[in-house]
Structure 1
Amino acid sequence: MAGAPGQPAANDGAPWVDLRHVSVRYGAVVALANVSLCIVPGERVALVGANGSGKSTLLRVLHGLADANGGGGLHCNRTLRQAMLFQRPHMLRTSALNNVALALWLRGTRWRDARLDALTALQRVGLQGIAAQNARTLSGGQQQRLALARAWALRPDVLLLDEPTASLDPHAKREVESLMADFAASHGAGGPAHPVTMVFSSHNLGQVKRLANRVIYMEHGRLVADLPVHDFFNGPLPEAARLFVKGELV
């Protein structure tokens, strides 16, 4: 039996975020419709569904970049640090090292220390060799790894990713996916008491199987199925979700 929409995976922790009957409209377009969702720290949640199903809007709501304009609202533990990666991350017109260091400096780190921490972050993602190169000249895969380095340097407790490997070649996809797995296995600014929570959208169902422990299927702005990853791929599903998994959704 498919899980009830909005029902979190088994976890005794206090929620990171709790949405209750949230809707978002852009003019006449309903981007989210009556979405209820609870996520607790340490979960790895994959958002799946066709283009236009509401995945990106939901991520933006979770990160505070889009306001709910209908429903009961959003309750979020903002004491936890958050970072969000977009499908095409914005790169400043400066070196790869400075792209990371500036993020740290804006958080209050002294510039000298920020550059040292930035170099450590670049080493973490294997980009120390191009630290001085203009970030806008990097390949798509390198830019996504740089964006992950920038996020990792901030030591977030929550990482949100919108189609992080969608436009990358197979080799770059594997590299970024490996870094995502590494990131999800780490801890946030609060140490062991704050396991990293990861929420990502993806059309790559193999990636979802490898990285997620919970899958949410969306359609026309609605949350249709919310299940542990094993149940999503092996148990009964609503018809649209079943067709999506089989690659037959029109």
Structure 2
Amino acid sequence: MSVVFDLHGASVHFGQPARAVRALSDVSLQIHAGERVALVGANGCGKSTLLRLLHGLISPTEGQVQSEPGLRQAMLFQKPHLMRQSVQTNIALGLWLRGTPWKQAKLQALAALARVGLPALAQRSARQLSGGQQQRVAMARAWALQPQVLLLDEPTASLDPHAKREVESLIEEFASGTEAMTLVFASHNLGQVKRLASRVIYLEQGQVLADLPVHDFFSGPLLQQQYPAAHLFVKGELV
């Protein structure tokens, strides 16, 4: 499998040097095409910072972050940003900004809404939708761009159980269907991690303390023996 992200000693500091907060510290890892990588850990451990680093929203203070040349990627946040426009316009605008003619962008937006099961909401105001519908619109907006990598920051954290299942089902389809996107997602829902991930990265205070296949992370003795902090986190004994 090809390497889509390659990090070497990547660190991220926020604030003035004398009082800088170290959000990530000396992270070295590779993510390959087709992987489903879950980022887990307590609040403030560096999950969101790592996602933003991979997406190019921030730059490393130290070290290197390399991505596959020409890589198409999209990122979804816990609460998607939607404009006070129609659902169709919210999706079409992303395509238009990528250079798609407006008329074609609107047609592709309708196809994207059909892909996530919301074609009837095309002319509704995006901000009047429920939280679950808004997240599915964000999924449609990402899918319309045909990304090779999909980055997700707690995509179902604020949703009710039914909406969570709907969004999670779409994520599963995007990863395993004809799109076959590479997934990197942050989640506090360990059940979701078990269902969606092929690999789990555990972070604590900005450091990667465990990086294991999903089965070994949850079921293998390796976690308890070599990564005791991650083992306590899985057991719910480390907050």
Using structure 2 for the length normalisation, give the TM-score. Answer: 0.94
1:31 deviates by 0.2
Partner of 1:114 in structure 2? Answer: 105
Instruction: Identify which range, 107-116 or 149-158, moves more after superposition.
Output: 107-116
Partner of 1:32 in structure 2? Answer: 24
Q: C-alpha separation between the residues in 2 aligned to 1:196 and 1:148?
A: 13
Q: Give the letter aligned to residue 156 of structure 1.
A: P
Q: Give the letter aligned to residue 207 of structure 1.
A: Q
Pick one of 215, 219, 228 that aligns with 2:200: 215
- Shift in CA distance, 16/187, structure 1 to aligned 2, threshold 3 Å: farther
1:153 deviates by 0.6
1:187 deviates by 4.6
1:130 corresponds to 2:115: no
1:72-221 aligned within 5 A: 73-188=64-179, 195-221=180-206
Partner of 1:51 in structure 2? Answer: 43
User: Relative to total residues, which structure has the larger helix share, 1 or 2?
Assistant: 2
Pick one of 68, 84, 88 that aligns with 2:60: 68
Structure scoring higher RCO (CA < 8 A, sep ≥ 6) equals: 1
Kept in 2: contact 1:157–1:187 (CA 8 A): no
1:248 deviates by 1.3
Q: C-alpha separation between the residues in 2 aligned to 1:38 and 1:90?
A: 29
Q: C-alpha separation between the residues in 2 aligned to 1:186 and 1:57?
A: 28
Deviations, residues 158-180 of structure 1 (Å, cap 9, x unaligned): 00000000000000000000000
Kept in 2: contact 1:160–1:199 (CA 8 A): yes
1:19 corresponds to 2:7: yes
1:186 deviates by 3.3
Deviations, residues 34-65 of structure 1 (Å, cap 9, x unaligned): 00010111100000000000000000000000
Report % sequence identity: 66
Q: C-alpha separation between the residues in 2 aligned to 1:97 and 1:164?
A: 21
For structure 2, list consecutive stretches of 5 or more residues without a partner in the other structure.
Answer: none
SS at match of 2:3: coil
Q: C-alpha separation between the residues in 2 aligned to 1:66 and 1:107?
A: 21
Instruction: Identify which range, 178-187 or 217-226, moves more after superposition.
Output: 178-187
Q: C-alpha separation between the residues in 1 aligned to 2:73 and 2:2?
A: 17
Q: C-alpha separation between the residues in 2 aligned to 1:53 and 1:226?
A: 15
Q: Give the letter aligned to residue 114 of structure 1.
A: A
Q: C-alpha separation between the residues in 1 aligned to 2:178 and 2:29?
A: 23
Q: Give the letter aligned to residue 96 of structure 1.
A: V
> How many residues align structurally?
231
SS at match of 1:168: coil
Partner of 1:191 in structure 2? Answer: none
SS at match of 1:87: coil
Q: C-alpha separation between the residues in 2 aligned to 1:21 and 1:167?
A: 33
Runs of at least 4 residues of structure 1 off by over 4 A?
none
